[in-house]
Structure 1
Amino acid sequence: MSSAQRKDDHVRLAMEQQHAHSGRNQFDEVSFVHHALAGIDRPQVSLATEFAGISWPVPLYINAMTGGSAMTGRINRDLAVAARESGVAIASGSMHAYFKDPSCADTFRVLREENPHGFVMANVNATASVDNARRAVDLLQADALQIHLNTAQETPMPEGDRSFASWPAQIERIAAGVGVPVIVKEVGNGLSRQTLLALPALGVAAGDVSGRGGTDFARIENGRREHADYAYLHDWGQSTAACLLDAQDVALPVLASGGVRHPLDVARALALGARAVGSSGGFLRTLLDDGVEALIAKIGSWLDQLAALQTMLGARTPADLMRCDVLVSGELRAFCADRGIDTRHLAQRSTSIEALNELTGSTR
């Protein structure tokens, strides 16, 4: 099977998952404690965020999806237009197809051509050579490089990798050699605390936990197998909410993606420590079902509603959401108990009138 056909299959199978989703995930086990006097005025709210020396005007980004075929090139063009019009950052899909076949370069380059002044991230796997990583960055004039980790995808993939021991050393070589910040991300199975703690020594600037709850690439690759005999890997890994809780007090800046369905999930992820939040499958579904103008409107609506939620919660900035009280319940709470994570302090981050007044700026 050609690389282009595989990329098209990924889009088709991902959209089948989107249309089949039940709608629930572990973000539903995170809730804000409502403080009726915590609200502030909307003009006080900023959506700007910073991490690892990077400044974004909003804490939302279009995460890695696709590229490598004529169809996915058209998708990337529309995604780039949506990023340009809404002001969000955007990441390319894996550029391995470009390394194998340079004739598909335009299907990735369009991300920069249609979005000349935006924040664009290139994307490679952990086996890429330093030279190829540089080629990816140069092709997109990328502001940062994502390196994706995907052992649970490679394992059922008929043509997938089976050698993973070299990944840490190669990540270190790439990070030292590309000249832009490196963000290590999963593809939907989550980054554990142990993984996040290992990344700074490799020269990594940030980690995108990209947990379970969105597109399931192990399921996609199993669907490409003749006998679909890896079904037991469906839903492998930790949810995005679980990863963020596992990352409490980790010094490495953390981004969140995977199963982000609406602005409340964005606020939940920010409250659990994410510096910014990405979406892929949900945005792609809107684009393919309703067109690029609908996607632009959706992103704009998400940003407007996120600002409204910050106003209600008394959070002047996305970072201030980390000072709001949140409750953790259900299986997510059980995960925290087993991992030795005390969630009680999350529910008591503003336990006095003085703390609330500091958050809202009140002098009463």
Structure 2
Amino acid sequence: MLRSKRKVDHINHSLQQEDAGGSGFTDLSLIPAVLPDLRLEQVDCKCSFLGKELSAPLLINAMTGGHPQVKEINAGLAQAAADTGIAVAVGSQRAALENAGVIDTFTVVRQKNPDGVVLANLNAGCSYDDAKAAVDMLEANAIQLHINIAQELSMAEGDVDFRGVMDNIALLVDRLPVPVIVKEVGFGMSLETVSSLVNAGVTIIDIGGRGGTNFAAVEEGRSERIGGPLLNWGIPTASSLLEALSVAGNAQIIATGGVRSPEDVAKALVAGAKLAGLAKPFLQVLMEKGVQALISYIEVMKFDLRIIMMALGASSLSLMSTKQLVVTGTTAEWLERRGVNVNIYARR
């Protein structure tokens, strides 16, 4: 019951919390194509992901599930994903594996979105049997294995033993019948971490950088603690994204963490991300205005992304990664110190 109640606490505190800020997207600048030889009708933001076509490279990222009060939230998110043709992920399914009474708060996602891309979710330290059960529960197209060490260490009841997680990820990659997506929850991944994941066989990585919802702060809010040691922890999303891309090879990188606008999405795609994920912005619209408003919000975001693609002279997503991106400010300084060459983006 504690785990189930925690899901409601996370929703409430996430909605009340200001964004962590400092995602680094303001340090990334796109170069306009002043004379694009295009009509807007030619610009197409469709993409293929996990063998299915998405109408846009967008993901409603993992948020919730596991409590009767959040079933309607997951239903709304899934309906919006189905109607707009984008991907959707559920929050951790641990509660449903421990309590069959809340399974329907997750299965409603597949019911509302029978043909779309749905991602299961468990902690990266989970067993094979639990991971397989989570996938089967949703008939999921892939499973997110989330890494949330900073959150766990900020949680009064959190896990403090992270031994063997990388070996476990490699085992799950090898044995599960669907692709594994390793996901940070908002503290970012370094190039060393991404390189290790790629070597373990992971082919899709969600870098989950700092700049959006701060789960260390969420846990402090739950415990009424002030000023914990990990409150400002993590790698800003822009820095984490470019670090990851520098070592990803053929692995697909998903950009999440403080993505708040179509321009942020476009910057991530030009950098080389496969998808961009948002959580809190979608949740806020759903909670405040309802499902139809969320559907409209996503459709506007898709249209605005096409506008930006037009202004870049990119008629398709495959052309986005050929466009120039200028990295300046703190992000450029960070990446220079880390040995990542940002000039290659500006001189494509």
Q: TM-score, normalised by structure 2?
A: 0.95
Rounded to whole Å, the distance in 2 between the matches of 1:16 and 1:39 is 45
The reply on whether 1:284 has 2:287 as its aligned counterpart is: no
Aligned to 1:10: 10
Aligned to 2:58: 60
Deviations 1:159-209 (A, max 9, x none): 111111210111122222220011101000111111111123323221011
Rounded to whole Å, the distance in 1 between the matches of 2:297 and 2:326 is 28
Aligned to 1:237: 234
Rounded to whole Å, the distance in 1 between the matches of 2:291 and 2:258 is 21
Structure 1 residue 247 displacement after superposition: 2.2
Q: How does 1:178-327 map to 2 (within 5 A)?
A: 178-228=176-226, 230=228, 232-249=229-246, 250-251=248-249, 252-327=251-326
Moved more, 174-183 or 52-61: 52-61
Aligned to 1:118: 116
Partner SS, residue 73 of structure 1: helix
Rounded to whole Å, the distance in 2 between the matches of 1:302 and 1:275 is 17
CA contact (8 A) 2:21 2:258 kept: no
The reply on whether 1:104 has 2:99 as its aligned counterpart is: no
Structure 1 residue 285 displacement after superposition: 0.8
Q: Which 5+ residue runs of structure 1 have no aligned equivalent?
A: 350-364
Partner SS, residue 76 of structure 2: helix
Amino acid at match of 2:237: T
Rounded to whole Å, the distance in 2 between the matches of 1:190 and 1:21 is 15
The reply on whether 1:176 has 2:157 as its aligned counterpart is: no
Rounded to whole Å, the distance in 2 between the matches of 1:186 and 1:153 is 10
Q: Which has the higher Rg, Structure 1 or Structure 2? A: 1
Q: TM-score, normalised by structure 1?
A: 0.91
Deviations 1:127-167 (A, max 9, x none): 21100101100010001111001101111111111111210
Moved more, 172-181 or 120-129: 172-181
CA contact (8 A) 1:126 1:170 kept: yes
Rounded to whole Å, the distance in 1 between the matches of 2:57 and 2:224 is 41
CA contact (8 A) 1:52 1:205 kept: no
Q: How does 1:161-172 map to 2 (within 5 A)?
A: 161-172=159-170
TM-aligned CA distance change 1:202 to 1:53, over 3 Å: farther
Q: Which 5+ residue runs of structure 2 have no aligned equivalent?
A: none
Structure 1 residue 224 displacement after superposition: 2.1
CA contact (8 A) 1:275 1:319 kept: no
Correspondent of 1:152 among 150, 158, 177:
150
Deviations 1:39-62 (A, max 9, x none): 522232221224676653321110
Aligned to 1:92: 90
Deviations 1:219-260 (A, max 9, x none): 111222253452x31231111111111123421211111101
CA contact (8 A) 1:39 1:311 kept: no
Structure 1 residue 264 displacement after superposition: 0.5
Rounded to whole Å, the distance in 2 between the matches of 1:248 and 1:290 is 36
CA contact (8 A) 1:40 1:312 kept: no
Rounded to whole Å, the distance in 1 between the matches of 2:50 and 2:73 is 29
TM-aligned CA distance change 1:22 to 1:96, over 3 Å: closer
CA contact (8 A) 2:186 2:211 kept: yes
CA contact (8 A) 1:240 1:256 kept: yes
Partner SS, residue 233 of structure 1: coil
Rounded to whole Å, the distance in 2 between the matches of 1:74 and 1:306 is 29
Sequence identity percentage:
40
Aligned to 1:360: none
Partner SS, residue 284 of structure 1: helix
Amino acid at match of 1:105: I
CA contact (8 A) 1:144 1:181 kept: yes
Rounded to whole Å, the distance in 2 between the matches of 1:267 and 1:191 is 21
Deviations 1:293-352 (A, max 9, x none): 111000000001111111111112223211111111221111111111222221121xxx
- What is the aligned-residue RMSD (CA, Å)? 1.7
Moved more, 26-35 or 272-281: 26-35
Aligned to 2:133: 135
Amino acid at match of 2:205: G
Q: How does 1:348-363 map to 2 (within 5 A)?
A: 348-349=347-348
Moved more, 312-321 or 150-159: 312-321
CA contact (8 A) 1:145 1:183 kept: yes
Rounded to whole Å, the distance in 1 between the matches of 2:161 and 2:121 is 20
